[in-house]
A and B are shown apart, each in its own frame.
Chain A
Amino acid sequence: MPKKFRFQILAAVLFTFLFQAFIIPGFAQTPSQGAKQEAKPNAPKVFMKSSLDSAALRKDIAYVQYVEGEAEAQILVEITSQKTDHGEEFTIALTGRREFSGVDNLLRYTADPSQKPEDVQKGLINVLKMGLLRYVSKTPVADRVNIAFLDQVKPTSVIDQWDFWVFSFNVDTFIEAEASYKMQELDGSFSANRVTPEWKIRFSLSASHYKNCYSYSDSDGNSYSYESVSDSRYLNGLVVKSLDDHWSIGTTLAASSSTYTNIDLKMSLAPAIEYDLFPYSESTKKQLRFMYYLGLDSMKYRLETIYDKMKEILVKEGLSVTLELKQPWGTISSTLAGSHYFSDLKFNRIDLSTEISFRIIKGLNLNVYGSGSRIHDQLYLQKGELTKEEVLLQRRQLETTFNYYFSIGLSYTFGSTSSNVVNPRFGSSSTIRVTS
Chain B
Amino acid sequence: MKITQSRFALLILAFFLFVGSAFSQSAQADIETLKKSAPKVFIDCGWCDIEYIKTEITFVNYVRDRKEAEVHILITTQATGSGGVEYTLAFSGQNGFSDLDDTLKYFSKTTDTDDETRKGLVKTIKMGLMAYVAKTPIASRIAVSYTEEQGLQAVADKWKSWVFSLSANGYFYGEKSYRYQSITGNFSANRVTPDIKIKLGLSANYYYSRYDYSGEIIDNDRESYSFSGLVVKSLDEHWSVGGFLNASSSTYSNIQLNVSPAPAVEFDVFPYSQSTRRQLRFLYWAAFSMTRYRQETIYFKTQENLLKESLAISLTVKEKWGSISAQLTGSHYFHDFSKNYLDLNATIQFNILKGLNASVYAGGSRIHDQLALVKGDLTLEDVILQRRQLETSYSYYLMFGLSYTFGSIYTNVVNPRFGSSTGSSGIIIIN
Contact = CB atoms under 8 A, between A and B. Distances in A.
A binds B: yes
A16 B229 contact: yes
B258 A414 contact: no
Nearest to A147: B126
A149 to B, nearest CB: 4
A295 B113 CA distance: 39
Interface residues of A, number: 192
11 contacts: A20-B198, A131-B131, A149-B141, A166-B406, A168-B403, A180-B391, A196-B413, A196-B415, A375-B431, A409-B169, A423-B194
A205 B84 CA distance: 40
A417 B84 CA distance: 8
- Please tell me the size bucket of the interface on B: 35 or more
B347 interface: no
B81 A419 contact: yes
Find the residue from B100, B130, B168 having the highest chain A CB count within 10 A: B130
A272 B164 contact: no
Contacts of B207: none
B169 to A, nearest CB: 4
Interface stretch (A45-53, A75-83, A302-310, A424-432): A424-432
Interface string A157-168: 111101111111
Contact of A392 (B36, B213, B377, B394): B213
Interface string B69-90: 0000000001111111010000
Nearest to B52: A284
B171 A406 contact: yes
Contacts of A284: 49, 51-52, 55, 414, 416
Contact of A428 (B79, B146, B407, B409): B79
Contacts of A432: 244, 246, 260, 262, 285, 287, 310
B417 A274 contact: yes
A435 B333 CA distance: 11
B408 interface: yes
Contacts, number: 571
B162 to A, nearest CB: 5
B218 A392 contact: yes
B389 A145 contact: no
A3 interface: no
Contact of A126 (B19, B155, B380): B19
B228 interface: yes
Interface string B209-229: 001011000100000001011
A129 interface: yes
Contact of A238 (B107, B272, B427): B427
B387 to A, nearest CB: 12
Nearest to A206: B424
A405 interface: yes
Interface in B190-244: 191-201, 211, 213-214, 218, 226, 228-234, 240, 242-244
A61 B148 CA distance: 11
B163 A415 contact: yes
A434 B289 contact: yes
B424 A328 contact: no
Contacts of B31: 151, 153, 157
Q: Which 5 pairs show the lowest CB-CB distances between chains A and B?
A: A155-B412, A283-B416, A411-B167, A430-B230, A403-B175
A352 to B, nearest CB: 12
B429 A416 contact: no
